[in-house]
Structure 1
Amino acid sequence: MYKVLTDCGTAAKDMSDAGSAMQKNLEEAASAAGTLTSQFGPYTSTAGLVGSALGQFMQHWSRDLVYIAKRTSSSLHGADQATRYYMAGDLEHAANAQGEAAKEPKVDMPGRGQTSHRTKGR
């Protein structure tokens, strides 16, 4: 059982690393995509169309990515705890650990209140 948890933890870490790299790459791509500059002054620049679209994409999906990471972490931690209790013969604590792991994770994004994934309006 511990091999399964270790393998799942490794896969979750890889997924987390990929999400972090995607966020960094999207930011770099958005800034490299160019800007729009006013021709008539005052001469200001704003993100170009591609940069703006990439920003909206990340803003839309970042909440779901954080939710997936929190859900995965909670599930793995709960499975580990429940397994340890079960192996020790403590079925009540094993059931409690499973119940805690099944609770809906809270996603707290910057600039927003804490909201569960299910109540975000989807």
Structure 2
Amino acid sequence: MSGWDVSPSGVESVTSLVGMAMDDVAKSVTSYGTNVTSAASSAGTISGAYCGVGTPTGPIGAALALFVEKTAGDVLFLGARAAKSVNGARQATAYYVAGDLGLAANAEHSALAAPEVKLPTPGGPQGGKK
């Protein structure tokens, strides 16, 4: 670790930029959810509503729902990976500045591990894992 040459202001600058990019991604994911829901409901069905039952989902709506279900973990992983990397870089830098290269190395190493992403379960608390 004696070869470290960290610029704390550089780390802060880069992690701030990543934070702003993460905010933009979060807005895009929210928009994606709204737009895919709208597309699914606008795609129509082969038949109308049945007595006592809401409008049935057509094949396009079902395909969109399946796509969202199968890619939700990947989308959540992007944010979790970025957040873990930024937090790890900031934590390692703080230890570096404090002169504790051992804790800095541990923080860096911990940040490299893939984050655990829990997918929401329908009608229940967070439960699935990626």
Q: Measure how far apart 1:103 and its partner are.
A: 1.9
Secondary structure of residue in 2 paired with 1:98: helix
Percent identity over the alignment is: 34
Q: How does 1:30-49 map to 2 (within 5 A)?
A: 30-37=40-47, 45-49=55-59
| In 2, Cα distance between equivalents of 1:63 and 1:104 | 13
| In 1, Cα distance between equivalents of 2:27 and 2:107 | 27
Structure 2 equivalent of residue 97 of structure 1 = 107
Aligned Cα root-mean-square deviation (Å): 2.2
Would you identify which runs of 4 or more consecutive aligned residues in structure 1 move more than 4 Å? 41-44
Q: Which amino acid aligns with 2:47?
A: T
Task: Indicate which of 26, 46, 50 corresponds to 2:60.
Answer: 50
Note the residue ranges of structure 1 that are not aligned, 5 or more in a row: 117-122
Q: Which amino acid aligns with 1:115?
A: K
Work out the number of aligned pairs and report it.
Answer: 115
Confirm or deny: 8 A CA contact 1:33 1:50 kept in the other structure. yes
Structure 2 equivalent of residue 23 of structure 1 = 33
| In 2, Cα distance between equivalents of 1:26 and 1:38 | 21
Secondary structure of residue in 1 paired with 2:64: helix
Task: Indicate which of 74, 88, 97 corresponds to 1:64.
Answer: 74
Structure 1 equivalent of residue 19 of structure 2 = 9
Change (3 A) 1:110 1:42: same
| In 2, Cα distance between equivalents of 1:32 and 1:56 | 16
> Which one scores higher on RCO, CA 8 angstroms, separation ≥ 6?
2
Q: How does 1:79-94 map to 2 (within 5 A)?
A: 79-94=89-104
| In 1, Cα distance between equivalents of 2:26 and 2:89 | 19
Q: Measure how far apart 1:42 and its partner are.
A: 6.1
Confirm or deny: 8 A CA contact 2:77 2:115 kept in the other structure. yes
**TM-score, L = length of structure 2:** 0.77
